[in-house]
Structure 1
Amino acid sequence: MSTVVETKEFQTEIRQLLDIVIHSLYTEREIFLRELISNAADAIEKLRYTQLTGPEVKDKDLALEIQIDTDDNAHTLTITDTGIGMTKDELVGNLGTIAHSGSKEFIKHLSAKGDQKDLNLIGQFGVGFYSAFMVADKVTIYTRSYHQEGGSYVWESDGVGSYTITEGEDAVRGTRLVLHLKEDAYDFAKEETVQRVIKQYSSFVPYPILLNSKKVNTVDALWTKNKSEISDDEYNEFYKFIANAHDEPLLRLHFSSDAPLNINSLLFVPKENFEQFGFGRTEPGVNLYCKKVLIQEKSPAVLPEWLRFIRGVMDSEELPLNISRETMQDSALISKLNKVVTTRFLKFLESQATSEPEKYKEFWEKFNLYLKEGAANDYTHQKELVKLLQFESSKTQPGELISLGDYVGRIKEGQEAIYYVNGPSREVIESGPYLEIFRDKELEVIYTYAPIDDYIFGAIREFEGKRLISADEADLNLNDVEQNARNEQAMSEEDVLALTGWLKEVLGSKVTDVRESKRLVDSPAVVLSPYGTNSMQRMMQLVNKDLNNVGPSVLEINAAHPMIKRLETARKTGDDFAKIAAEQIFENAQIAAGLILDPRGMVNRLNEILARALR
């Protein structure tokens, strides 16, 4: 008995459409395997659903799984599923047009009946199937429907413009695709290549995938499970898999959200920050999934750049994907996804800082620069980020950290500002002149060690109604606390006016003003930056290595200090050494402020001072 072969043409203009699918639609050729596995999983999901709701199906005891076989000699790749299979009409309907999706039709049919509960389809059968022709010059399909009385059929095409359908031998339920690979795609007949692609795109497909009879998707999609069902060991193993890591994570956040978006996320903070060790800029580490199928690896869109250290997965069924399921079409929705997850992660960090301060301190020591980067640049989340910043202060022990909230919580009555000062280390800050008035008045001062800290404080300006003021600001005004009376040991106001006027003449263009200080207690003098704060001046010098000329400064003198009094005496007596001493006092103040990059200019002067001292 001869077999009847039916040859059918694809729909009108199919040659052009096939050319688009094969050559233009997908950016990565290996995506075809993701699409075919997704279709196979859908076929099984339809069968599972039908078993629950419909008549008895053929081969009801057949295991629900996907089998993939490679043949490097024959250059073929075979994908078999034990799913719902297809009738002859379904073969024509599903594969006769690229614009048709068998999965969508299935859902549409159930929706009409008002019944699609617990159904989870991920593929677009009539669309994704044609990606097979990116790597195959011929595709043969063997299929048998789930219907007890159904027949077996063979569909075959070279993807050029027509296909054939013949009756096949009676077979078990399901579908088997045989891809006869193109010469430049023989690599997809190698087991190691197929295994790599499966791991990358389809590790979390909800049915077993057997590659040459060995199960390859061995890791569960934990983000879809209830947290109470997952052990710490399972979380750790999942992290090692998704982040390609060997150690355990420092922190993890597992959450689900229904509004404003349906989101399932499992995020991890690694134990180490390799960026701070000089390994280069960290790549984003969160993979974007839609119904457990990878859509975008290391997605740069789902979290802001400053959260690039996070590893994990994000899954949303609401992603408006384009026809190839590779890119997101609705940028506003992706932006909303970004904001929802970022806000949730920041709330998680805030709770960690309160409930597990030592754990948060460990996180802060390794990853604080990322949060500072966000606080400086991300105005959407700046308010939440500023709450997470932590610093040492004049009232903490070395290594003990406080937040701005902690500072405000213990602020002195009547104090209207939060004071801070920048320096390279605690020792340098505390040995400088800028804290003297604050010690005298018992005011707490936050210590900042990075230039970006002052940039952030300058940008936000206030916290919880308290102004943020640098202790080395030129126009520092402590009117919000009790002022001390003028030191009775100070020179007369007449002598101070004479000395400050003389210093302006001696220092010339190096200063914009010389005045009596209201902030000094123990130091003879202090310089204040023309750029607002000394830390801003230091930042400018770091950016411009040639900026050795500090520029004019404000010089404040302590009219009660013995050195300043002796300088005034030398000035009155006309001692030539007074000018040398004045210049040295000024440059000493610059050194204390960290504003001199090249001290060689004062060497001759210091030698002269030493020679005089040794007479």
Structure 2
Amino acid sequence: MENAMTAAQKETLGFQTEVKQLLNLMIHSLYSNKEIFLRELVSNASDAADKLRFLALSDGNLYQGDANLRVRISADSEKGTVTISDNGIGMTREEVISSLGTIAKSGTADFFKNLTGDQAKDSQLIGQFGVGFYSAFIVADSVTVRTRKAGEAKAIEWHSQGEGEYTLAEIGKEDRGTEIILHLREDEKEFASDYRLKSIVTKYSDHIAIPVEMWEEGTPESEGPDGEKIVATEGQWQAINRATALWTRDKSELSDDEYKEFYKHVSHDWEEPLTWAHNKVEGKTEYTSLLYIPKKAPFDLWNRDRQSGLKLYVQRVFIMDDAEQFMPSYLRFVKGLLDSNDLPLNVSREILQDNKVTQAIRKGCTSRVLKMLDRMGKNRPEEYQVFWNEFGQVMKEGPAEDFAHKEDIAKLLRFASTLSDESTQNVSLTDYIERMKEGQDKIYYVVADSFGAAKNSPHLEIFRKKGIEVLLLSDRVDEWMMSHLTEFDGKQLRSVTRGDLDLGSLDDEQTKQEQAEAEKAVEGLVERVNTALTGKVKEVRFTHRLTDSPACVVTDENDMSSQMAKLMASVGQAVPEALPIFELNPDHQLVQHLNQMQDEEKFAQWSEVLLDQALLAERGSLKDPAGFVSRLNKLMLDLSK
């Protein structure tokens, strides 16, 4: 097994900083569920077997005469060790350093900045990160890994006590694959028991598609009760799991617990999934899909370099991880696998990109996920709210990305609204339509930088007065989403900050007559303000959307909204200059006071102050805040004289 090694042959290397943090977190925060170490190591071994099987499709010599892939587990109670070995792909020296000495995940440093030091909270965070190989240190005070890559002559031994460093040495190893030896902590010797290990495998890893074997002792020759001779049996490795790919089994055979454990295997997630769908599709395109909706968003959901997608199998042969071609980007949180009968075994990512089979499967899987979410929203609203809080902003990318499913996606969207004081997004468009006022034919919404800004927008004043619900949108993606979502269930979606306000039959004749009289009382004011603000506004006009505020700004129908302009500017896009439309409330005392002002210089200053106030309320900032403060101070001093 191992050549003699001198200290000179060993090389000592330091762990990446994040690995040290992860090891510390593993040992101290995941202690309450320590048996998951075996699930993680068996899962990794299964992945190594999958990868070898895939590479052997094009190079059968990699099997080296041993094509029966398996995982073996053994315990030595005297030495206090547990050994997990596989005859999968194995690792080179460089791969050992990359896999066991560093964490090759983008955004890792930012993830660790979010750790609080509270073990309960941090153990939840680590679930979003993924547990993996380092879970071995939950139960072991040192770990030895011996590995030889298939097709390579050299083997490597990695050893660490889970502190600041690890050693590497070249060793002799007859067979390919990886052997992990856990040197158990003194108080974890319970795991050096065949019975204990077998019970954990049965609980967590029964679904593994290759045999997980343990040694079964033989029996000596003996004599039966009637004097007959009972032949001795030799010890042998015995599979202790079903070794049948779970997704190939009938749904009626499978329990919820089996589905949940399989999810943890394919996702390396700590949490159980919210829901799943297992389907076998027959006909023109034949495939099996097992799709899961996670309970928690991964820590790097918004990282552009993050790999996402489904595990792809062809005729039960593993082909690749993270096959992103089968899910649109807005469903990138979906976990699971596909097993196709119609794709070639040597399929590549490039071939998948424009393949008709891929397109058919993508369409089917997208519909499956949207229906799964729709059922959850209707039947289990509390669970759906958990989903929306985690993945709602990703789903909001859908209307722009997936025109074919726009209506289905729209049903799944949730919003805050003026009917609630809370910022919780729990109102669906269907809910909104059911509550619409008699005579209302539009779905009204407002987009702002924050929930508070949306809730207190002056544009909502007439809607509050008339008891009309308005959706409050404040996520960064909202303006972009609404530019693509213009209609739902035959109803137009209308921004309350865009264009002229037309409430249609919601305005009665008496109201319209009162509005006309209010405008007549300040006749000529619009022209004076327009002159005073030349070059600063596109148009000045009266409005009756306001009840408490003197003025507001709105965006012309054909211009980019202020929220969209902010979004474009934030990603470095050039934003065309668009002057706002300035609307005055003829019923407001300040507007009436402005109308009576004879001093044209003061009139111009007051007009600018009202415009700046309106811009501040709408956009949250001003191009020249110092100028606004100066004008306001001057007018306040004039009033105090």
| TM-score, structure 1 as length reference | 0.64
Mapped pair 1:536 → 2:564:
yes
Offset at 1:261? 2.9
Q: Quick one: percent identity of the two aligned structures?
A: 30
Mapped pair 1:609 → 2:625:
no
The equivalent residue for 1:417 is 442
Mapped pair 1:511 → 2:511:
no
Give deviations 1:249-279, integer Å, cap 9, x for gaps.
Answer: 2332222222443222222222321356766
The equivalent residue for 1:401 is 426
The equivalent residue for 1:561 is 588
Give deviations 1:557-578, integer Å, cap 9, x for gaps.
Answer: 11111001111111xx326422
Aligned counterparts of 1:375 and 1:268: Cα–Cα separation in 2? 22
Is the Cα contact below 8 Å between 1:472 and 1:534 reproduced in 2?
A: no
The equivalent residue for 2:297 is 273
For 1:229, give the aligned amino acid: E
Aligned counterparts of 1:404 and 1:186: Cα–Cα separation in 2? 66
Of 452, 459, 470 in structure 1, the residue corresponding to residue 484 of structure 2 is: 459
Offset at 1:349? 0.4
Of 135, 140, 151 in structure 2, the residue corresponding to residue 135 of structure 1 is: 151
Offset at 1:613? 3.8
Mapped pair 1:191 → 2:177:
yes
Is the Cα contact below 8 Å between 1:204 and 1:292 reproduced in 2?
A: no
Is the Cα contact below 8 Å between 1:322 and 1:329 reproduced in 2?
A: no
**What does 1:46-85 correspond to in 2, within 5 Å?**
none
The equivalent residue for 1:298 is 322
How many matched pairs?
Answer: 453
- Pair 1:225–1:185, CA change in 2 (3 A): farther
Aligned counterparts of 2:480 and 2:89: Cα–Cα separation in 1? 58
Instruction: Give 3-state SS (helix, strand or coil) of 1:509's partner.
Output: coil
Aligned counterparts of 1:323 and 1:277: Cα–Cα separation in 2? 27
- Pair 1:31–1:313, CA change in 2 (3 A): farther
Aligned counterparts of 1:392 and 1:34: Cα–Cα separation in 2? 60
Is the Cα contact below 8 Å between 1:68 and 1:209 reproduced in 2?
A: no
Offset at 1:339? 0.7
Instruction: Give 3-state SS (helix, strand or coil) of 2:458's partner.
Output: coil
The equivalent residue for 1:376 is 400
- Pair 1:613–1:520, CA change in 2 (3 A): same
Offset at 1:524? 0.5
Of 475, 487, 499 in structure 2, the residue corresponding to residue 474 of structure 1 is: 499
Mapped pair 1:286 → 2:310:
yes
Aligned counterparts of 2:246 and 2:344: Cα–Cα separation in 1? 23
Offset at 1:397? 4.5
Offset at 1:491? 4.8
Offset at 1:237? 2.0
The equivalent residue for 2:246 is 222
Instruction: Give 3-state SS (helix, strand or coil) of 1:390's partner.
Output: coil
Offset at 1:460? 3.3
Offset at 1:280? 5.6
Offset at 1:395? 2.0
Of 526, 543, 546 in structure 2, the residue corresponding to residue 520 of structure 1 is: 546
- Pair 1:29–1:520, CA change in 2 (3 A): same
The equivalent residue for 2:145 is none
For 1:481, give the aligned amino acid: L
For 1:395, give the aligned amino acid: L
- Pair 1:274–1:280, CA change in 2 (3 A): farther
Mapped pair 1:487 → 2:514:
yes
Of 392, 405, 412 in structure 2, the residue corresponding to residue 388 of structure 1 is: 412
The equivalent residue for 1:240 is 264
Give deviations 1:129-185, integer Å, cap 9, x for gaps.
Answer: xxxxx9389xxxxxxxxxxxxxxxxxxxxxxxxxxxxxxxxxxxxxxxxxxxxxx99
Give deviations 1:274-333, integer Å, cap 9, x for gaps.
Answer: 356766653214101123210122112222222221221111222234489996598001
Instruction: Give 3-state SS (helix, strand or coil) of 1:485's partner.
Output: helix
For 1:562, give the aligned amino acid: Q
- Pair 1:35–1:589, CA change in 2 (3 A): same
- Pair 1:329–1:610, CA change in 2 (3 A): closer
Aligned counterparts of 1:255 and 1:218: Cα–Cα separation in 2? 21
Mapped pair 1:308 → 2:294:
no
Aligned counterparts of 1:512 and 1:437: Cα–Cα separation in 2? 23
Aligned counterparts of 1:321 and 1:69: Cα–Cα separation in 2? 19
The CA RMSD measured in Å over matched residues stands at 4.2
Is the Cα contact below 8 Å between 1:255 and 1:265 reproduced in 2?
A: yes
Aligned counterparts of 1:135 and 1:266: Cα–Cα separation in 2? 33
Aligned counterparts of 1:603 and 1:34: Cα–Cα separation in 2? 79
Is the Cα contact below 8 Å between 2:560 and 2:578 reproduced in 1?
A: no
For 2:446, give the aligned amino acid: V
The equivalent residue for 1:442 is 467
For 2:355, give the aligned amino acid: S
Out of 240-249 and 518-527, give the one that drifted further: 240-249
Is the Cα contact below 8 Å between 2:56 and 2:63 reproduced in 1?
A: no
For 2:327, give the aligned amino acid: L
Aligned counterparts of 1:391 and 1:34: Cα–Cα separation in 2? 58
Aligned counterparts of 1:466 and 1:589: Cα–Cα separation in 2? 29
Give deviations 1:341-372, integer Å, cap 9, x for gaps.
Answer: 11111101000000000100110110112211
The equivalent residue for 1:426 is 451
**Gapped regions of structure 2 (runs ≥ 5):** 1-52, 70-85, 92-149, 154-169, 182-206, 216-235
- Pair 1:540–1:510, CA change in 2 (3 A): farther
Task: Please tell me whether Structure 1 or Structure 2 has the larger radius of gyration of its CA atoms.
Answer: 1
Aligned counterparts of 1:611 and 1:34: Cα–Cα separation in 2? 91
The equivalent residue for 1:116 is none
Aligned counterparts of 2:587 and 2:348: Cα–Cα separation in 1? 78
